[in-house]
Structure 1
Amino acid sequence: MPSGPSNLFAAAFSRDGDRWSGVEVDLSSAEIADDVTDLVQESLGLSGDELALLCVEVEDEWFALVRIEGDAEPRAFISDVQIGGDRFGEMFTELAGAAPSTESNDLGVRPAGDFDLLDDLGVSSEELLELSMEEGALPGDTLSVIAERLSFAEELDRLR
């Protein structure tokens, strides 16, 4: 299996009322997509139906969001399905329910997955799509904007 990217950052956030708390998540032991959910729940110490949101960014290449709620199937969004062949790109593309693109990158970024996963939290599908396709925006900057809208920007900054 291809190796992972050299500069991957992953942090998971859980919400208790209006307050979010976060932890950095080490995804190095994740071998399949299901491992991601287990690592997030373990890192946050979740035991029930709590909402968790995993934010992943890889250098200047792509970002992913994974929403986890109890035993429900995780919902995921990835900013670009044309991310190459590293194992994390493949895992998050699978979580987003998309097939990695074999086409050239000439088409620009190609977001995929559940565009509605943040609707009830205050970021519409249109906004998520627009943010992910904003020309010149780095994945980390886009995640910062999303974190600001969802009120966990300070937690994200603390973990970076």
Structure 2
Amino acid sequence: MYFAALLARTEDGWEASDTELDDVEALADLTDLAREFADRTGADDETVLVYIEQEEGAWFGLVRVDGEDDPRIYVSDAAAASRSSYGEILLTDELLGRDPGAADLAADLDALDLDGTEEGEPEAAEDPETVAGYSPPASEDTVPPGPLGDPGILSDLGMSRADLLTVDENDPLTAIGDALGVSDVAEAVR
């Protein structure tokens, strides 16, 4: 079960709304959703936060959109989020430090069956894992456990990096709302 909310900083304070993510398939869709909310609330060049939480405290994520700037992302537990369709939206190749074309290139090379031998020549029997100094390549599918992204995403709004990194996983929205001074608004949408 998931909960998602939009928080927009306006001239009159913060406005919040819960939101559905059924039509969101990529980070660009989420960014568009935030910008549309900014337009509706009059927060055009102001900050809009998209808050996504998997209930039961598994993980939460924040996307910050400031006007036309690129979105900034923070995920409390990347490994847990990677097992979620909504979490995968936040875990972009850039955030994970992956080369977006690397997987396609690797698949193309695997299809060519380039093993370093001539056609008809037997493959070497030596197992690479037994060679001294061998370390298995990092998997493209490996997602690090723990926080990932920009822990300073809320620093200028009242929540330090350290506080965000140590937020109570059982009720992150309340902790974030308290730090930003918007707990009443944030809880009203829950």
- How far apart are 1:48 and its partner, in Å? 2.8
Within a 5 Å distance, the mapping from 1:5-84 to structure 2 comes to: 7-17=1-11, 19-44=13-38, 45=40, 48-60=44-56, 61-83=58-80, 84=82
Contact map agreement 2:151 2:165 (CA 8 A) in 1: yes
Q: Under a length normalisation based on structure 1, what TM-score does the superposition of the two structures give?
A: 0.79
Partner of 1:122: 158
Q: Which runs of 5+ in 2 are unaligned?
A: 98-139
Alignment of 1:148 onto 2:146? no
| Counterpart among 93, 102, 108 of residue 142 in structure 2 | 102
Partner of 1:111: 147
- The one-letter amino acid paired with 1:102 is T
Deviations, residues 113-143 of structure 1 (Å, cap 9, x unaligned):
0111111111111111122xx5xx31xx122
Q: Distance in 2 between matches of 1:39 and 1:70?
A: 12
Please tell me whether Structure 1 or Structure 2 has the larger radius of gyration of its CA atoms: 2
Contact map agreement 2:10 2:43 (CA 8 A) in 1: no
Within a 5 Å distance, the mapping from 1:81-96 to structure 2 comes to: 81-83=78-80, 84-94=82-92
- The one-letter amino acid paired with 1:79 is S
- How far apart are 1:154 and its partner, in Å? 0.8
**Aligned residues, how many?**
144
Q: Under a length normalisation based on structure 2, what TM-score does the superposition of the two structures give?
A: 0.68
Could you say if the C-alpha distance between residues 150 and 47 of structure 1 is closer, same or farther in structure 2, counting changes exceeding 3 Å? closer
RMSD over aligned Cα, in angstroms?
A: 2.4
Contact map agreement 1:55 1:64 (CA 8 A) in 2: yes
Could you say if the C-alpha distance between residues 24 and 120 of structure 1 is closer, same or farther in structure 2, counting changes exceeding 3 Å? same
Q: Distance in 2 between matches of 1:54 and 1:76?
A: 9
- The one-letter amino acid paired with 2:9 is R
Q: Distance in 1 between matches of 2:30 and 2:93?
A: 9
Q: Which runs of 5+ in 1 are unaligned?
A: 1-6
